[in-house]
Structure 1
Amino acid sequence: MTAHSERAHRVSETFDPASATIAVVTFNRSTLLARLLESIGRMDPKPGRVIVIDNASGDDTGEVVKSFSDTIGTELVYRRLEENTGGSGGFSEGVRVAYELGSEWMWLMDDDVEVLPDGLSRMGAWAPRYKSIQGRRYDYDGSEFYWQYRVSVPLGIPIPFAPAAFDARGYRPMNSGCFEGMFIHRSVVEKIGLPDPRFFIYWDDTVYGWLASRQTRSVIVNEFVLRRTREIKQWDMGRRHLNASSDMYRYYIMRNRGIMKHYYAAHGKYSPVYFAIGTAATFVKELIRVTMVERGITRKGIANLWRGMRDGRRIARDETFEVMAPLTAR
């Protein structure tokens, strides 16, 4: 047994799998959701419960969840929202439900992944040494997915050239987050509050992970725990990929810069000049995404980028905007 595995085994003895809740957000993808729930049924150990937040799906999601209630091997909680609140609203609700049910650990994920059988034990091996943890995942084709775990705070954008390799420690400090696998302790949630549902999609997990890193030492660990089950068109740049997007994503990636500005300002980290540079870089990146991944710039795509930027400036100027409050302040 290596020194790393001995350390991981020792730490895992202090982690109770039943204290963890997997919170899944889904919308009209019952086939993918079923595959995820099947993978959770194969986990050893299993979490104490699984929460499925249904963003008002129009398919058979409710029936699919019900079909797993007696076979998944752990408590299954189903919450159907009255309207589609986006990934942001879904994860906000998922964290709220998990927190109110007394969960110590909350493992957040979309419906288009599956959990590897020993995923929870691998994550638990790092608890409670760290309280905000991101595992690794395999892409749809089985390749190792690289996630940009560092954010330039002045610019408000991921750092694409952050080192990808791990040393003997088996982790790297991070200051961001990804709701596709974020593993977070309730003590951190108490301090930073719920994810902000107003993002709808995009930048929500980046901001939430950044807030967590201000309260605790956040890390990405060299543990493969998830596998993507949905193929996404990509521009392969070697270790790093640029995924295809949509006009809706293009709108929110620009619009939500306005929300991000308020969080930076609330914590004394907002620099107007640098943040404007980051916004411009985001705009250019989206043009590159459309050109290199989707092979063409559409009038609608450009219009959504400009519309998102316009609405983002309006949000940024809104002096009544308030960031999410810590749960300890309730």
Structure 2
Amino acid sequence: MENRQEEPRFSVIIVTCNRLALLKECVAHASNQEKMPEKIIIINNASTDGTLEYLQEEQFQSPLYHIVNESENLGGAGGFSRGVETALAEKGDWFLLIDDDAMIAPDFLSSIAEAVKSHPECGAFTGVVETEGQIDTLHRRRRKKAGSVQMVNIPEEVYKGEEFELDAASFCGLVVGRKIVEKIGLPEKEFFIWNDDLEYSLRIRMHTEIRNINRARLNHKTNLYSQRSSKRYLWKDYYGFRNYFYTCRKYGNKTDCIMSYAIPRLRLIYWRMQHIISRKDYVYNLEMLNRCRKDAKQGKLGIVKEYFPG
């Protein structure tokens, strides 16, 4: 695995798009670590809210920062792919992936550094994600069964220990070693958004364990239990379903492929039977779901103009 004779060197990768206030807070946390990162890489996904001007301020002329301003929105997947690619050209040995709404605690990197030295066999680490003061178990998951890509959240009681192993981590506090990245490549940029972290985790797990360090904490500044007012799928759902179907076909078994479609299909039927969803929205959702399955089967990834923000 990594060379553990030297002190671990970290690059922090932050992906942002039109969330200037969050970005400022995120940068403040990343740049005030007990163990300072070698580099803070900020991928600006064509923001139009003043982010570009903010990133031109004097503080970002420091060699601590590497700013990449994209001319178009690459999505989270494209942003993280670009960020990891950029980090490979820098000096860091370990790459921390976060969105602009992840506020890492002052001892986050120092806690991971201790774990890196304590576990020379491990090529990837994560920290605990807290939202509104509670552990958000959605971000750290394990396989339901060996050989399956169906995941379950790791229960909160597991977090009471010092650390634990997992199979899938969100890009909210995932730290992956350079040597692993050189083996598995970059995150899948053609996913655009959603489930890029699952796919990347599965690639990581082919070469190393992923270990969650419970003393390494971050505050995910979002709503813990936000619910939609409508059951009509959003444009984002296309990428979530398509990318999950694709991941099941690539890494999963036959049951994974069947259940990945059957569960949302049966949910739609239930919603319609219970009059939770209108017939018009039911038809719209079903058409999207079938389009996702078809595109995943054919390996059609990338941005789809019918399902694009704005």
Task: Sort the TM-score into its range (normalised by shorter chain).
Answer: 0.7 to 0.9
Summarize the Cα distance change of 1:168–1:247 in structure 2 as closer, same or farther, 3 Å threshold.
closer
TM-score normalised by structure 1 residue count: 0.76
Equivalent pair of 2:143/2:167 in contact (CA under 8 Å): yes
Summarize the Cα distance change of 1:233–1:174 in structure 2 as closer, same or farther, 3 Å threshold.
closer
Cα distance, 1:88 vs. partner? 0.5
Equivalent pair of 2:77/2:196 in contact (CA under 8 Å): yes
Equivalent pair of 2:246/2:299 in contact (CA under 8 Å): no
Distance 2:170 2:298 in 1: 27
The question of 1:277 aligning with 2:263 is answered: no
Residue 6 (structure 1) aligns with: none
Distance 1:67 1:288 in 2: 53
Cα distance, 1:142 vs. partner? 1.4
Distance 1:32 1:75 in 2: 20
Cα distance, 1:177 vs. partner? 2.1
Per-residue CA deviation, residues 35-91 of structure 1 (Å, 9 max, x unaligned), is 1111223221210110000111111112222336269x7611110112111110100
SS of the residue corresponding to residue 175 of structure 2 reads strand
Cα distance, 1:232 vs. partner? 5.2
One-letter amino acid of the structure 2 residue matched with residue 173 of structure 1: E
Unmatched runs of 5 consecutive residues or more in structure 2: 302-310
Residue 126 (structure 2) aligns with: 134
Summarize the Cα distance change of 1:255–1:44 in structure 2 as closer, same or farther, 3 Å threshold.
same
SS of the residue corresponding to residue 18 of structure 2 reads coil
One-letter amino acid of the structure 2 residue matched with residue 159 of structure 1: V
Residue 114 (structure 1) aligns with: 103
Cα distance, 1:255 vs. partner? 1.5
Task: Choose from 182, 185, 194 the match for 1:190.
Answer: 182
Distance 1:209 1:103 in 2: 20
Task: Choose from 224, 241, 253 the match for 1:254.
Answer: 241
For residues 199-210 of structure 1, the aligned pairs below 5 Å read 199-210=191-202
Distance 2:36 2:167 in 1: 28
Equivalent pair of 2:43/2:83 in contact (CA under 8 Å): yes
Equivalent pair of 2:128/2:217 in contact (CA under 8 Å): yes
SS of the residue corresponding to residue 165 of structure 1 reads helix
Summarize the Cα distance change of 1:297–1:224 in structure 2 as closer, same or farther, 3 Å threshold.
farther
The question of 1:171 aligning with 2:163 is answered: yes
One-letter amino acid of the structure 1 residue matched with residue 49 of structure 2: D
Cα distance, 1:263 vs. partner? 2.8
Cα distance, 1:307 vs. partner? 4.0
Residue 59 (structure 1) aligns with: 49
The question of 1:143 aligning with 2:156 is answered: no
Per-residue CA deviation, residues 218-238 of structure 1 (Å, 9 max, x unaligned), is 112212421122335436xxx
Summarize the Cα distance change of 1:210–1:285 in structure 2 as closer, same or farther, 3 Å threshold.
farther
Equivalent pair of 1:254/1:283 in contact (CA under 8 Å): no
One-letter amino acid of the structure 2 residue matched with residue 158 of structure 1: M
Give the length in aligned residue pairs: 286
Bigger drift between 224-233 and 44-53 goes to 224-233
For residues 1-330 of structure 1, the aligned pairs below 5 Å read 16=7, 19-67=9-57, 69=59, 75-128=64-117, 129=119, 130-139=122-131, 141-147=132-138, 148-152=140-144, 156-160=149-153, 162-166=154-158, 170-231=162-223, 233-234=225-226, 247-264=234-251, 270-282=252-264, 297=277, 302=282, 305-318=285-298
Per-residue CA deviation, residues 125-152 of structure 1 (Å, 9 max, x unaligned), is 110412111110221x212222342134
Equivalent pair of 2:107/2:216 in contact (CA under 8 Å): no
Cα distance, 1:297 vs. partner? 4.3
Distance 2:249 2:112 in 1: 32
Equivalent pair of 1:247/1:301 in contact (CA under 8 Å): no
Summarize the Cα distance change of 1:219–1:60 in structure 2 as closer, same or farther, 3 Å threshold.
same
Cα distance, 1:178 vs. partner? 1.1
Summarize the Cα distance change of 1:123–1:137 in structure 2 as closer, same or farther, 3 Å threshold.
same
Distance 2:17 2:159 in 1: 38
Distance 1:55 1:288 in 2: 38
Cα distance, 1:281 vs. partner? 2.6
